[in-house]
Amino acid sequence: MKAVEIKTGIFWVGAIDWAIRDFHGYVTPKGTTYNNYLAVDEKLTLFDTVKYNFGDTTIANIREVADPSKIENIIINHIENDHVTSLDKIMHLAPGATIYLTEKGKKGLERLYDISSWKIKTVKTGDTLTIGRRNLLFIETPMLHWPDSMMTYIREDKILISQDAFGQHLASAARFDDEFLECASVFELEDAVIDYYANILMPFGNLIKSKIAEIQKLGLEIEVIAPDHGIIWRKNPEKILKMYLDMAGGAAELKVVIIYDTMWNSTEAMTLPLMRGIKEEGIDCKVLKLRATPMSVAIKEFWKARGVLVGSPTLNNKMFPSVAEFLHHVAGLRPKGRIAGSFGSYGWGGGAVKEVYESLKGMKLEVFEPGMEALSRPSPDDAEKCYEFGKAFAKKVKEYHAQF
Ligand code: FEO
């Protein structure tokens, strides 16, 4: 893909990774993009780079617009590998360029490259840089999502280059939200935003709220939000800001997701009457088997729903390993504003449901107890109890949801 002008003199010069399906452990069924940007001004300025195997691509895109050896400034908003590992190639072409990044960014960069011969200036929130007719404003966003992270605002063009925040893993010929929606649904775009947020930014809801408030307090007019992945928000930047504020505030759909695994299909057999009970209360329900579902998809579906039922058979008096793995991931993401319960089958002693509750309580989630257990294959009586359990849980989910 060629360079794309996003505003007069500001170009997308990134790369589309159509083929990536495993992004450091997250499934990316729709690929991704590594977005970086070039401002053609008195001082040619590059914003971020791309993943190492796309270095030649971004250099070719830059070359369409300007001679890369003329780059004078390189803004590094974030030093994760997908954005910084072409920096050496760029610096080889433009060895006199000055790199601007946060203090933490500099410390991280030292671990990746020998920077002794590079000109580096560290910046903090409120610092500015004039590149000609344009003025840049740097805004640190530590832990959104790495300690080094920052955003750069181009004042004259009203563009916020937001690094990972507001991004999505979507490979597309479309560069902009309005272009994307000409050939895809709003659901597809929103689903990609939620997937990204759930798997990467879920722990940082409070930080997101305060950082967006800080940006609003600065009185910055934002016409374009240009993230480092996926489509650029030029038609409706307010939409992505609202989605982030909503998610940071704990927004969820009034529905239940049943996430389970099974050994001999007994725990699985419980899911159908549970779902019937939930549906009976007028609540939508989705059912996911963990070994049939990529982890990042299970995390996204967990995050979308207000209520979750976690099902596990007992193995050696403990929960099933895939369920433990799922709860381990969820715990690390520090979810809030979700109500959870548990169910499962056992052969003799039990233990899985108790352990699932311990995990859920450890996360300080609202829990619905006692859980639902069945000895071996659920009997018709067990199925009836599952149905009633599903109904009771759905009622509780409705009550809990009302407070949001
Ligand atoms: Fe897209 Fe945190 O890297």
What are the catalytic residues? Answer: 24, 78, 80, 82, 145, 164, 196, 229
Q: Other C-beta atoms within 10 Å of 157: how many?
A: 17
Distance, in Å, from the CA atom of 203 to the CA atom of 25, rounded to the nearest integer, reads 18
Ligand 1 pocket check for 82: Cβ under 6 Å? yes
User: Residue 328: its pLDDT value, please?
Assistant: 98
Distance, in Å, from the CA atom of 397 to the CA atom of 25, rounded to the nearest integer, reads 31
Tokens at 24, concatenated = 């450091």
Closest listed residue to residue 88, CA positions, set 51, 134, 143: 51
- What are phi and psi for residue 311, nearest 5 degrees? -110, 135
336-360 b/e with 16+ CB inside 10 Å = b? bbbbbbbbbbbeeebbbbbbbbebb
Ligand 1 centroid from CA 297, angstroms: 18
User: Residue 22: its pLDDT value, please?
Assistant: 94
Ligand 1 pocket check for 156: Cβ under 6 Å? no
Distance, in Å, from the CA atom of 395 to the CA atom of 80, rounded to the nearest integer, reads 44
Radius of gyration of the chain (CA): 24
Sequential pLDDT tens for the chain (404 residues): 789 999 999 999 999 999 999 999 999 999 999 999 999 999 999 999 999 999 999 999 999 999 999 999 999 999 999 999 999 999 999 999 999 999 999 999 999 999 999 999 999 999 999 999 999 999 999 999 999 999 999 999 999 999 999 999 999 999 999 999 999 999 999 999 999 999 999 999 999 999 999 998 999 999 999 999 999 999 999 999 999 999 999 999 999 999 999 999 999 999 999 999 999 999 999 999 999 999 999 999 999 999 999 999 999 999 999 999 999 999 999 999 999 999 999 999 899 999 999 999 999 999 999 999 999 999 999 999 999 999 999 999 999 999 99
Alpha carbon 216 to chain centroid distance?
Answer: 22
Closest listed residue to residue 295, CA positions, set 195, 204, 188: 195
Ligand 1 pocket check for 80: Cβ under 6 Å? yes
Task: Supply the residue whose CA is at minimum distance from atom 1 of ligand 1.
Answer: 164
Distance, in Å, from the CA atom of 245 to the CA atom of 242, rounded to the nearest integer, reads 5
User: Residue 38: its pLDDT value, please?
Assistant: 98
Q: Other C-beta atoms within 10 Å of 42: how many?
A: 11
Tokens at 35, concatenated = 């977005």
Element (H or E) spanning 301, and its range?
helix 295-304
Ligand 1 centroid from CA 258, angstroms: 30
Closest listed residue to residue 44, CA positions, set 67, 21, 26: 67
Element (H or E) spanning 152, and its range?
strand 150-154
Ligand 1 pocket check for 338: Cβ under 6 Å? no
Alpha carbon 57 to chain centroid distance?
Answer: 25
User: Residue 19: its pLDDT value, please?
Assistant: 97
Task: Supply the residue whose CA is at minimum distance from atom 3 of ligand 1.
Answer: 80
Ligand 1 pocket check for 83: Cβ under 6 Å? yes
Q: Other C-beta atoms within 10 Å of 5: how many?
A: 13
User: Residue 92: its pLDDT value, please?
Assistant: 98
Orientation angle between helical segments 266-280 and 380-401, nearest 10 degrees = 50
* Distances from the Cα of 63 to the Cα of 17, 67, 211, 318, angstroms: 20, 5, 35, 59
Q: Three-state SS for 275?
A: helix
Ligand 1 centroid from CA 149, angstroms: 9
Task: Supply the residue whose CA is at minimum distance from atom 2 of ligand 1.
Answer: 80
Ligand 1 pocket check for 78: Cβ under 6 Å? yes
The pTM of this model reads 0.94
Residue with tokens 């109890």: 385
